[in-house]
Amino acid sequence: MKLPDSMNNQIPSAFAQAYAALNNEQKKAVDTIDGPLLVLAGPGTGKTQLLSARVANILKETDATPSNILCLTFTESGATNMRTRLKSFIGDAAYEVTISTYHSFGSELIKNYSEYFQQIALDRTDDVRLEKPVDELSQLKLIDEIIGKLPFDSSMLSARYYESDVISTISDLKKNLISPTQLKELGGSNLRQIEEAQSILDVVINRVGGISRKKDQLRAQYATLLERLSVLKGSLIEQAVESLKDAHDESEFTASTTPLTKWKNDWLFKDDSDRFVLTNPKVSEKMLDLAKVYADYEKKLQQNALYDFNDMIIRAIEGIKKNDELRYNLQERYQYILLDEFQDTNPSQFELVKQLVAHEVNEGRPNLMAVGDDDQAIFAFQGASVGNIQDFLDSFRDVQVINLVSNYRSHQDVLHVASSIASQIKTRLHHQLTGIDKTLLASSRTLPSKATIIRADLPTAAAEYAWVANQINELISSGASPREIAVISPIHHLLENFVPFLAEHKVPITYEKRENILDTEIIKVICQSAKLLYALNSQDHKTINEYFPLVISHPYWNIPALEIWNTNWQLGKKDEKRTWPEIALGSEALKTAVNFYLTASAKVTLTPLESILDQLMTETPLKSYYFAVGKRESDAQKYYDAITHLTTIRTHLRDHQASSNHALTLLDFLEFINLYERADVGLLDTHPISQGKNSVQLMTAYKAKGLEFDHVFILQAHDDIWGSSSRGRGNKISLPLNLSHIRYASVGDDERLRLFFVALTRARHSLYISSHRVSDSGKPTTSLKYLSEDTLTSPHLPLSSQKIMSVDPTPTELSRSVATLWTAGRVTLPVDFRDLLTERLESYLMSPTHLNSFMDLEYSGPEEFLVRTLLKFPSAPTADSEYGQAIHNTLEWYQREISSNNPPGIDDTLAHYELELAKRYLSHEDLEVARSKGRVVLQKYLSSRVEMFNQAALAEVNFSHEGVTLGEARLTGKIDRLEVDHTNKTVRIVDFKTGSPIEKWGSSMKAYKYRHQLYFYKFLIEGSHTWKSYKVEGARLEFVEPKDLKNGVIAKPLTIQFDAKEEQAIKTLIQVVWDKIQKLSLPETSHYKPTLQGTLSFEHDLLAEA
């Protein structure tokens, strides 16, 4: 690679330093640039550094450019971390390497190469880019509609009681690239194979009185069965034969018939004639009916212009397969591909990669590196397939395998325990590989010479929690850092049970709070209020009488209970004909509340849902009750929880709105809640609760993957928690045995062993494994079988730590621990408000809109910025903003079509505008206004700007991944239009504005914010890696609307002349505001006037602080 001069010294020195620190096997992986490479990277073996170093070495040793390299991983945070590390090696060139999650990559392919992807035939549009993601509720509704129309004899009719299982099964099928047609063929084929096998089963077993109880005869029967079934063909029979052969061989080796009995239990089924048949035929029959439901679901998605999460990958695969030109171009571009956490890929994700490397020039040896560890394959429940690692070896020729075993994290005693667990995994990859030993070797030189390994057993769960909390408190008292202590469980609720025990010691903690928001107070209040409004509108007197006292008795109305009781008493009189609100209007204490609901109910059928929800919050005392400024200080956690609950339900509603073809109403909201409750699907809100950065970490083993701590506590080492007797929520749709591989086997020993292995290997040098003897129901617990313990010793631990410490608290201590456990789920932690926002602040990027929101004292200001932007307090978008967004999106589409040499006519453009309007949150009245106004505006504007749009330009340029910084401030934003002159390396900024135009940079709040915005865009361009070599030659505002719609004269663009002094002032302002945001040090602004002059005084004072 030809490196820029500015990087000539930086890259070689940074890379050389990192390369020198690698061990021999790591260096071998970095140096192996050509051909397929599989790196088995156990925990703590330094794979993260390895991936970045290999990218740098590719650029150093080959002619490849950064854009020729593709890195795929699983999370956005993982992609960000990889780019940050890579930047330390190769500077800003790291931004030119494609580092993406699989789904983001698939999405970008479809967006950037939309002309290659199959278009969908719809009445509304044939543009795949206008399809919308389907939300969970819409999926449930579609499945509900399909099942409701099935014939009376369909085996899928009962699925109306477990519709979420249908969706889950379809998702599993898609992840494994099984179409409805293929599922139908599999079901039919299975039934034919079952029928073919029946004659053999009848002769060998059924007609001779069944399976013999005598061992010799039983073995002979199974040997005969194996011989005769082996001549038949078909995937079901072939899998049965292979399994029977393994059972037969094991039976011979162990001199036991148990393996054969186990095979019988798995593969033979008694029918209603008491005959043995090969598997239950009804399971395969059900696949035929499921295939019909699956096909109808796909058809409904297409009819409604929807796609689900798995479709993004599937469509990317189909598009590449069907379009040679696209495939060749992608293969030419991505000459080097690196796959992180490869054990977590599912078959469809790996198929996408295969398509990218399936060029004959590679001769089966593409430049493809996969890094993974089958021992840490713990995400099978998400569709991941550890079999992909073996598939990698089978898919390519002469794959080089490098095994990393030098562990730089853990003490050898910790690795001893982990290795003894991993050795029990039956399907470990290295069993199929010659010369591969995955035993981890402690290689860190910074760990203590002696490890702490403690196995403790307590009488009860409460006593166990109390003991663990005491141990943690003692560690901290002796100097351990709280952030270096982790408590790990496979189940989230065990961690929530543990919270009050640490709270008793005032130990700071961080954990994820997880709640079904439908069970939370504020959402219940809103749901009850919504039911009341709808009942009032529909004159449902029974519901009115039930819900009115329920709603206004909530403390936020602050109405005396006696007033409500008197109304209830009056309603209960035999001769009373009035409804509850009619009686209540006679009470001065009740009149205000009653009038609000009566008035609000009159418009519920015409008002968009979000506007109604806003009314319930802002036109009642509800908002001030929960969200007064003082509440934020006095009870930060309750304040934060309530906002996240509101945000969660609005997010789900907006997802549902995006899947709908009409503006949601109050009735839609009630159906939304009812369907979730009926499907027994919770609306989960998961958000971090933190008492500071230096706090004890409580997390599940899934969340802990990739992290490390000095001290790790593993809770409840029982078989029903970590072992094979643990039970997850099963799927009620059974799969044939030749399809069972697509679904996570939640009770499989190998999966559970891997999860326990991951938990163990988080520890550097201190490992505490605890359990208790008696369950909450009084029954004895079962020790985790993987530890092979008796009551005294744990043989898989190092010799010096094998004795199990039996701890017996005093009766007083036991009583205290039980009392503490009773507070689980109700304890309120004293938290600093900033600690709750730590994660948000760490990932926060400032946009020009954010800056203006912070500064604008006329309509917003710092307090409003905090609530609306940082806390994301939900509110309905205004009709003006929705109209403006539809216009902006249409202009973006218009420019992209022209840039693609497909200039649209005005009729096509107006049709597109209609599609954009259909996605906005507008009442029927506002929609009609926006429709008629927008049609006039677009026709007049586009006809007056023909020459401008014919110039080369980029639409909607996004800077979110450009890594723009200004001092400490991290910046982002989208520029409506960039007019680029690549020859002279110049750009012009264009920002479209709806609303009344301004003719000059006068003294108005609007002009003030517009100037800030244009300067901000200039900073984005100058600080970006893509455009930093370009000069910003100018910027202008394009006013889309004429001053007067009747005369139709479009206002002249307003150009800004950048001024060095003003530019410096705004740069300083951005950094001061950034600092205020990061410290949550929001200035008090009540002494400023809510005007432009007040805003300027506020700005002056902020700049003075700098």
CATH of the domain at 479: 3.40.50.300
Mean pLDDT of 374-395: 79
| Alpha carbons 320 and 332: distance in angstroms, whole number | 13
- Please give the structure tokens belonging to residue 295: 């096909």
- Please give the structure tokens belonging to residue 315: 């469509």
What is the band of 127 on the pLDDT scale with cuts at 50, 70, 90? very low
Q: Of 421, 317, 268, which Cα lies nearest the Cα of 760?
A: 421
Q: In angstroms, what CA-CA distances link 1054 with 6, 25, 915? A: 38, 61, 30
Mean pLDDT of 846-863: 95
Q: Side-chain half-sphere of 220: how many Cα atoms within 13 Å?
A: 7
In terms of domains, do 883 and 1007 share one?
no
| Alpha carbons 203 and 968: distance in angstroms, whole number | 80
Residues 6+ apart with CB under 8 A from 858: 1005, 1090, 1091, 1092, 1094, 1095
Q: Of 270, 196, 188, which Cα lies nearest the Cα of 228?
A: 196
Over the range 828-866, which residues count as b (16 or more CB within 10 Å of their CB) and which as e? ebebeeebbbeeeeeebebbbebbbbbbbbbebbbebbb
Q: Of 385, 377, 383, 343, which Cα lies nearest the Cα of 731?
A: 383
Q: Of 1080, 574, 1095, which Cα lies nearest the Cα of 870?
A: 1080
pLDDT tens figures, 636-649: 888 999 999 999 99
Q: Which of 612-626, 894-908, 1030-1044, 1081-1095 has the lowest mean pLDDT?
A: 894-908
In terms of domains, do 860 and 978 share one?
yes
Assess if residue 772 is contained within a domain: yes
pLDDT tens figures, 504-560: 999 999 998 888 999 999 999 999 999 999 999 999 999 999 999 999 999 999 999
39: enclosing H helix or E strand: strand 37-41
| Alpha carbons 960 and 958: distance in angstroms, whole number | 6
Residues 6+ apart with CB under 8 A from 622: 525, 556, 616
Domain final position from 253, 273, 303: 303
Contact predicate 931/912, CB 8 Å: no
Contact predicate 456/467, CB 8 Å: yes
Assess if residue 415 is contained within a domain: no
Domain final position from 383, 404, 425: 404
Mean pLDDT of 331-350: 92
| Alpha carbons 438 and 431: distance in angstroms, whole number | 10
In terms of domains, do 630 and 718 share one?
no
pLDDT tens figures, 246-280: 999 999 999 999 999 999 999 999 999 999 999 99
What is the band of 4 on the pLDDT scale with cuts at 50, 70, 90? very low
What is the band of 345 on the pLDDT scale with cuts at 50, 70, 90? confident
Domain final position from 375, 404, 433: 404
DSSP class of 274: S
Assess if residue 124 is contained within a domain: no
In terms of domains, do 793 and 851 share one?
no
In terms of domains, do 1072 and 959 share one?
yes
CATH of residue 1043's domain is 3.90.320
| Alpha carbons 941 and 1039: distance in angstroms, whole number | 9
In terms of domains, do 567 and 591 share one?
yes
| pLDDT reading at 989 higher than 50 | yes
In terms of domains, do 930 and 963 share one?
no
Assess if residue 426 is contained within a domain: no
Better pLDDT: 647 or 679: 647
Assess if residue 837 is contained within a domain: no
In terms of domains, do 868 and 908 share one?
no
DSSP class of 843: H
Q: Tell me which residue range forms the domain holding 717.
A: 452-508+691-726+756-822
In terms of domains, do 611 and 712 share one?
no
In terms of domains, do 666 and 803 share one?
no
| Alpha carbons 694 and 533: distance in angstroms, whole number | 47
How high is the pLDDT of residue 839?
A: 84
Assess if residue 733 is contained within a domain: no
| Alpha carbons 184 and 501: distance in angstroms, whole number | 54
What is the band of 381 on the pLDDT scale with cuts at 50, 70, 90? low
What is the band of 1015 on the pLDDT scale with cuts at 50, 70, 90? very high
Contact predicate 763/712, CB 8 Å: yes
How high is the pLDDT of residue 428?
A: 86
Over the range 376-400, which residues count as b (16 or more CB within 10 Å of their CB) and which as e? bbbbbeebbbbbbbbbbbebbeebb
| pLDDT reading at 119 higher than 50 | no
Q: Of 1066, 1093, 837, 1082, which Cα lies nearest the Cα of 967?
A: 1066
Assess if residue 702 is contained within a domain: yes
In terms of domains, do 240 and 337 share one?
no
Contact predicate 140/163, CB 8 Å: yes
Q: The whole model's pTM is what?
A: 0.84
Backbone angles phi, psi at 1054, to 5 degrees: -105, 115
Backbone angles phi, psi at 698, to 5 degrees: -105, 120
Contact predicate 886/917, CB 8 Å: yes
- Please give the structure tokens belonging to residue 907: 């009729």
CATH of residue 648's domain is 1.10.486.10
pLDDT tens figures, 428-455: 887 778 788 899 999 999 999 999 999 9
How high is the pLDDT of residue 126?
A: 42
Mean pLDDT of 976-988: 94
Assess if residue 257 is contained within a domain: yes
Query: CA 783, 791, 803 angle in degrees (round to 5)?
Result: 105
How many folded domains does the chain comprise? 6
| pLDDT reading at 686 higher than 90 | no
In terms of domains, do 1018 and 1090 share one?
yes
How high is the pLDDT of residue 498?
A: 96
Mean pLDDT of 19-37: 94
Query: CA 707, 709, 713 angle in degrees (round to 5)?
Result: 105
How high is the pLDDT of residue 128?
A: 43
Q: In angstroms, what CA-CA distances link 201 with 217, 257, 408? A: 15, 19, 56
- Mean pLDDT (the chain) is 90
Mean pLDDT of 380-394: 76
